[in-house]
Amino acid sequence: MDNYIWITAQKEMLHHYPGAPDEVDYLKYLHRHIFHFKVYIEVFHDNRDVEFIMFKHKVEEYLEHVKQKLLKKSCEMMSDYLHDLLLQDYPGRKMMISVSEDKENGSFKTYDKT
């Protein structure tokens, strides 16, 4: 059985989709969203293996420092980028990451141990 803890975070960011189809061509231009993140991380025992608040602070720290690098990224790409950063601090753990724009539309990705 796999065990996880999870945290949520949100970040106001600007982004755009340069290759947007004509039907939604307005997405080609810089626009604002509140991006919502829900990050699950595998834990190996039931007594604060990964402490919730410390994990949340780490996720928020990464989001603050990388928001300019996410300018042209989709929700899926943001998830991959965040996962790659978290692996530096939490190697060998499965993760699941949800990223949404304004809690309306988004992605959900699972990551095996690496």
pLDDT tens digits, 89-113:
999 999 999 999 999 999 999 999 8
**DSSP H/E element including 60:** helix 52-66
Look at residue 67 in the predicted model and tell me its pLDDT: 78
Q: 3-state SS of the chain: helix, strand, coil percent to 5?
A: 35, 35, 30
In the prediction, which pLDDT does 72 show?
A: 85
Give the pLDDT confidence score for residue 114 in this predicted structure. 67
pLDDT of residue 60: 96
Domain ranges of the chain: 1-37+75-114
> Each residue of 37-90: pLDDT tens digit?
999 999 999 999 999 999 999 999 999 888 778 788 899 999 999 999 999 999
Query: What is the rounded CA–CA span in Å between residue 100 and residue 10?
Result: 9
Q: pLDDT value at position 11? A: 94
pLDDT at 65: 82
